[in-house]
Structure 1
């Protein structure tokens, strides 16, 4: 029997009331991640691909980490700066624009990555894939009133 949780998560992800719970969900997810020593996140429990992105703060220069849903694309990770439908892109997107070198932690492994923001036709093609993967992105873009940034995180050599 297939895991029903990804389908349920995708259905819930299209409900506007879920965005109002964003603060609590992010808080619970970070606590769960910390308590499990990085083995569990809410997105992973829902059966969806999740990673922990660590960027360099554009102003502070300090490491900043956030758990994110990602779209698997070959050996790359695609992340979307939806910020739960808020008008402003998430801080991690600004950090990647300033410092494209980052680290991802996925299922206990760690990889250094290089971020590239998609534009133009490449963006449009990926956006169509992303909305099929996570239908809530369309609602979040509408709510935010902005084009959601999309980054490809490609593995880089040491």
Structure 2
């Protein structure tokens, strides 16, 4: 929808118990070319938080592999573009943010159990 509408539709802010949608643009780890994808997110202060999932399938999503190689990225939200730096949440921070995701998706743990490993909680910090 984002692409076919020329960017006029397809992105929305998180609201209440509904996560938002943003466009994430990474640098390809092999090609060095820009790659974009629409992902769900919520805000945690000035940070944006998303889950590194590939439709709950086993492999890590390409955008997360790209961010691990090149953490500097760009996002476009309904409020406009910004530059960010990605990192994985760890320890208590991950647990807190995972619990926040449960507010948006009550079946989160059941979906995550389908994956053989832990789903990364990705923090996109403003640069």
- TM-score normalized with structure 1 length: 0.72
Give RMSD over aligned pairs.
2.0
Q: Does residue 39 of structure 1 match 2:23?
A: no
Structure 1 unaligned segments of length 5 or more: list them: 1-31
More helix per residue: 1
Q: Does residue 129 of structure 1 match 2:100?
A: yes
Q: Which moved more, 1:138-147 or 1:71-80?
A: 138-147
Bigger radius of gyration, 1 or 2? 1
Aligned residue-pair number: 124
More strand per residue: 2
Secondary structure, aligned partner of 1:61:
coil
1:24-49 deviations in Å (ceiling 9; x for gaps): xxxxxxxx1112111212x74xx641
Report the Cα distance in structure 1 between the residues aligned to 2:42 and 2:105, rounded to whole angstroms: 9
1:100-135 deviations in Å (ceiling 9; x for gaps): 000000115110001111112221221111122223
Structure 2 unaligned segments of length 5 or more: list them: 13-17
